[in-house]
Amino acid sequence: MGAHESMEHAEHAEHASGSNKKIALLIAVLALFLAISETLGKGAQTESISKNVEAANLWAFFQAKSIRRTVVVTAAEQGKLTLAAAAEAQKPAVQKQIDDWTKTAQRYRSEPETGEGTEQLADKAKHAEHARDEATAKYHHFELASAAFQIGIVLASATIITGMIALAYVGGALTIAGLIMTALGLWWPHLLHLH
């Protein structure tokens, strides 16, 4: 092997070393973005589960209040029948009971001071469902971003082994795709319908 050939091998090794450093940097950046998207995804998943439980609890409370209200309305209606047949001396007491049941039924329907009337509970449950849907949409975007980053890492790693620079370009394109999916998850989770 002549000096010229040795020089060419050294230049080629130096060029390959420089390319490998760039690929290693790409892998490191992809790993960083992967860690971020995974963290955001876990947070969104936890939020989705939490809001789903909250909505279920609120709807259960709503149903319990609705049942109580129905029982009290039924009692008031029965009281009206009793009132018609009651003796004159009993009528004021029966009417007072009917009035109390009617007020209770109204309170079960709307209790703005406590937020525990059926109207308020339904609003709270719908709000929790909306928050759940928002978190779920974010989660789906972050999962797709993570997949893009993971595949990009694999392709960039394969570039070092195979020397096929095209794989690194695909890995770079997947980085951009992952960043777009992360941005959509953060700011516009309902722009694409992924679920």
Q: Taking 60 as the threshold, does the pLDDT of residue 10 lie above it?
A: no
Angle at 191 between CA 43 and CA 26, to 5 degrees: 60
Q: Which residue has the higher pLDDT, 67 or 191?
A: 67
How high is the mean pLDDT of the chain? Answer: 91
CA neighbor of 175 nearest in space, from 141, 146, 137, 140? 146
pTM here is 0.79
Q: Taking 90 as the threshold, does the pLDDT of residue 1 lie above it?
A: no
Query: Rounded mean pLDDT of 57-85?
Result: 95
Q: Taking 50 as the threshold, does the pLDDT of residue 122 lie above it?
A: yes
CA neighbor of 29 nearest in space, from 179, 183, 165, 185? 179
